[in-house]
Each structure stands twice: as structure tokens, then as C-alpha cells.
């Protein structure tokens, strides 16, 4: 039995996002589920290290998958370095860099159309934010220049009167 306190601590440790696909609980509209990385069916324990906060689609796809051979094992969100096994392409799709990455990607179906769209939207938001920051800096420069011109204009006006 998983206590409310343990559940909350796992939820917080995962920053309210699915450990497998990264979807935030706010995007889903409810709290997510707890997955036993090492499945209960294979004697996995209810401890924090073995619990992954995850969405129902990832939980369903992963199901009771477990491999005793470490090379066949899925990537643990907090114990394995994701970036050395998977990479995100410009089209929003993930590609595997290793055998484990390939197993992980395939088992969890991490190129679901909705996830690919979400990755592209996230990328677009980052680009928009950079563009907005650049435009704000440009407005700041223009305002400074305008202030200098106004000062110069006042000085010229004083000289003329
Ligand atoms: Zn997920």
C-alpha cells in the first residue's frame, strides 16, 4: 500500500510530469499514476526509487515489462541518462541511439502523434520566447535612442531661444 505522503513525494520528485514522456499533469487535467519500474508482479517494491510518476498511456504501454538483462531494460527516468540513449529530431520525433533506447522508445511508444505535436509546440514556444526577448531588447534600444534625441532636441531648442 502506497501512502499519500510517498505518492506526493514521488509526484514532487517528478515535477508533476510523466517520467517517461514528460507530459505535465496540467496538460492532462488530472494527477498522474504511479508505475512500479520493477513491476509488483515481478516482486518490485513500493519504495520511492522504484516508483515512477507517469501518465496512463505510458503506464499502459509499459505494463509489466521487466528484463533481468540490463541491456534489455527500459530507461529509468531518474537513474539513466536519457540523452545518451535517445535524441529528439527537428520533426519532434525521438530516435534511438542505443539498443536500450530502441526498446524504451518502442515499448513506451514515445513517438505517439500527440507527443510529437506537443514536442513541436514546445519547440515553437521556445523559439517564440527567444523572438519576444530579442524584440523587447530592440524596443529598449529604440527607447534609449529616442531619449538621447529628445535631450539633444531640448539643447538645440535652448540654444535657439
Ligand atoms: Zn507519459
C-alpha 128 – ligand 1 centre gap (Å) = 25
C-alpha 147 – ligand 1 centre gap (Å) = 52
pLDDT tens-digit series, residues 116-159? 999 999 999 999 999 999 999 999 999 999 999 999 999 999 99
Predicted structure pTM score: 0.84
List all residues 6 or more positions away from 43 whose beta carbon is below 8 Å from its beta carbon: none
DSSP string over 105-159:
HHHHTTT-HHHHHHHHHHHHHHHHHHHHHHHHHHHHHHHHHHHHHHHHHHHHHHH
pLDDT tens-digit series, residues 57-114? 999 999 999 998 989 999 999 999 999 999 999 999 999 999 999 999 999 999 999 9
C-alpha 129 – ligand 1 centre gap (Å) = 25
- DSSP state at residue 17: B
Q: Alpha-carbon distance 115 to 108, whole Å?
A: 11
CA atoms within 13 A on the CB side of 129: 6
pLDDT tens-digit series, residues 20-59? 999 999 999 999 999 999 999 888 899 999 999 999 999 9
- DSSP state at residue 72: G
Spell out the domain ranges in the chain: 4-111, 113-161
Residue 147 C-alpha cell reads as: 531619449
Residue 3 scores a pLDDT above 90: yes
C-alpha 56 – ligand 1 centre gap (Å) = 7
C-alpha 153 – ligand 1 centre gap (Å) = 61
Amino acid at each position: 500500500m502506497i501512502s499519500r505522503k510517498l505518492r506526493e513525494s514521488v509526484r514532487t520528485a517528478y515535477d508533476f510530469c510523466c517520467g517517461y514522456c514528460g507530459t505535465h499533469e496540467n496538460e492532462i487535467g488530472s494527477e498522474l499514476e504511479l508505475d512500479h519500474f520493477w513491476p509488483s508482479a515481478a516482486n518490485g517494491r513500493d519504495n520511492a526509487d522504484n516508483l515512477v510518476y507517469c501518465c496512463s498511456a505510458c503506464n499502459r504501454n509499459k505494463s509489466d515489462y521487466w528484463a533481468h538483462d540490463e541491456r534489455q531494460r527500459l530507461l529509468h527516468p531518474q537513474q539513466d541518462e536519457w540523452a545518451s540513449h535517445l535524441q529528439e529530431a527537428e520533426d519532434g520525433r525521438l530516435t534511438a541511439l542505443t539498443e536500450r533506447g530502441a526498446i524504451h522508445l518502442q515499448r513506451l511508444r514515445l513517438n505517439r502523434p500527440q507527443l510529437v505535436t506537443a514536442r513541436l509546440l514546445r519547440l515553437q514556444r521556445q523559439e517564440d520566447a527567444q523572438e519576444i526577448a530579442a524584440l523587447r531588447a530592440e524596443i529598449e534600444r529604440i527607447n534609449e535612442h529616442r531619449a538621447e534625441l529628445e535631450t539633444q532636441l531640448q539643447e538645440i531648442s535652448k540654444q535657439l531661444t
